[in-house]
């Protein structure tokens, strides 16, 4: 791996942690809009699936360690790594498509990957690790799914803008 690529990915991980940790926007109870998801959209869009995987995995891991948020750590880490990887794969395929169709496919990929990552992977992980009934975890994780998806969809135009600037 090139030094420039490693540095760029490391910067994305750091940005994910900083935006997640320092700028939480509380919405309902313990749930907040996590601005780290902006980076989880921007990095796979610009740099691809492995950058998305790294930002999702290591960014979430470091955030959970810094925030002392160990209860759901494994599920969040695996779910966000999945989201970053899948988005990178989809964005790579859709970059050359026409704008309206591209946006529909990209946003659908965000919704599906976020649903699988947050609702399914995180819920299954918590069910296995903590022996919590799956239906309880599925319903509890549906709220973060919606909030994370909102941030991701809002971040989509930012990713397109940054990609155009990065390619200059």
pLDDT in tens, 110-154: 999 999 999 999 999 999 999 989 999 999 999 999 999 999 999
Q: Quick one: 82 exposed, middle or buried, by C-beta within 10 A (0-12, 13-18, 19+)?
A: buried
Token digits of residue 102:
């591209």
Residue range of the domain that includes 54? 3-166
User: What pLDDT score does 53 carry?
Assistant: 98
Does 4 have pLDDT greater than 70? yes
Q: What is the pTM of this model?
A: 0.95
Q: What is the pLDDT of residues 67-111, one digit of tens each?
A: 887 778 999 999 999 999 999 999 999 998 987 899 999 999 999
**What CATH number is associated with residue 32?**
1.10.1760.20
What is the pLDDT at residue 69?
76
């Amino acid at each position: 791996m090139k030094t420039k690529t490693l540095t760029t990915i490391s910067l994305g991980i750091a940005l994910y942690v900083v935006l997640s940790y320092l700028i939480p926007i509380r919405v309902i109870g313990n749930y907040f809009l996590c601005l780290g998801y902006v980076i989880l959209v921007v990095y796979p869009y610009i740099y691809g699936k492995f950058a998305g995987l790294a930002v999702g995995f290591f960014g979430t891991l470091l955030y959970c360690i810094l925030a002392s948020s160990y209860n759901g750590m494994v599920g969040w880490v695996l779910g966000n790594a999945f989201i970053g990887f899948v988005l990178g794969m989809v964005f790579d395929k859709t970059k050359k498509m026409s704008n309206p169709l591209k946006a529909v496919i990209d946003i659908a990929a965000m919704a599906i990957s976020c649903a699988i990552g947050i609702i399914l992977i995180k819920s299954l992980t918590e069910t296995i690790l903590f022996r919590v009934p799956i239906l309880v975890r599925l319903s509890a994780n549906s709220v973060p799914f919606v909030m994370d998806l909102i941030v991701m969809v809002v971040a989509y135009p930012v990713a397109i803008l940054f990609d155009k600037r990065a390619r200059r």
